[in-house]
Amino acid sequence: MARREKGGFWVGLAAAAFYPLTAIGKRVYLGAEKIPRQGPAVLVMNHISHLDPAVDAVFVHRQKRVPRFFLKASLKDVPIFGRIVTGSGQIPVARGSSAAGDSLKAAHQALEEGKVIVIYPEGTITKDPLGWPKEAYSGAARLALQNDVPVIPIARWGTNQIFNGYTKKFTPFPRKTVTHLVGDPIDLSAYRGGNPRSASMLREVTAVLMDEVTRLLAEIRQEEPPVKKPETDAAAETKAEAKTETEAAEQPEDGA
């Protein structure tokens, strides 16, 4: 049996705060054994509520791992919580500044040290009114292509029914069920050996990651996801390529 990854005082303090918070929902964990009990991994997840980081942190911690998230750099200045963020090894994102790219460097370093990175490719909570994943940033693809580590898709559903980030409606009762469904590690062998910074490859791998997360989400919800949008025209495609090349320095507010 794998031993719990050591987190130290600040991780313990975060757990003491988050475990009671996440008890407002009934939890269902499906496929959690697929998360490696040791060694590096990238966990790719959808984002539907501002409760997600706390709920997902507890989920990963229950698998005996210490999760590392991308968080807004400004959170480091919040009394007490800022110390928890820094002390527990979370990764600050200085969005819109010359230091924005440092977040991915820190993530690469964490993976080299055998840590688990949790990433929301959408960056912030989805704006889709039905809760389906929307356009994603390339940070998860960059991590996946530049590090030969397990890349594991995970869908989570139910936190949005407790707290809706856009209506600001908090509905803890009756208790809702929050389900995590873990998929098999994504095989990216076909993409390795090429240029991991290629705009076209980053777009393709991002799509592969999010398609799998969406498939898992559809399984939880027992619904069909929306039909994909048609191919963009040549002008839009060119614009998208230019955007992708600069995304490393333009990280979203609480993800990459």
Domain ranges of the chain: 24-248
The pLDDT score that the predictor gives to residue 6 is: 86
pTM of this structure:
0.87
Note whether 77 and 185 are within 8 A (CB).
no
Note whether 165 and 82 are within 8 A (CB).
no
The pLDDT score that the predictor gives to residue 246 is: 44
* 175 contact partners, CB below 8 Å, separation of at least 6: 24, 25, 26
The pLDDT score that the predictor gives to residue 247 is: 46
The pLDDT score that the predictor gives to residue 75 is: 78
Is 3.40.80.10 the CATH classification of the domain at 24-248? no
Assign 38 to helix, strand or coil: coil
The pLDDT score that the predictor gives to residue 250 is: 39
How far apart are the C-alpha atoms of 14 and 56, rounded to whole Å? Answer: 12
pLDDT tens digits, residue range 42-59?
999 999 999 999 999 999
* 183 contact partners, CB below 8 Å, separation of at least 6: 31, 34, 152, 153, 154, 155, 212, 213, 215, 216
The pLDDT score that the predictor gives to residue 255 is: 52
Residue 69 CB-density burial (10 A; 0-12 exposed, 13-18 middle, 19+ buried): buried
Q: Low-confidence residues of the chain, pLDDT below 50? A: 229-253, 256
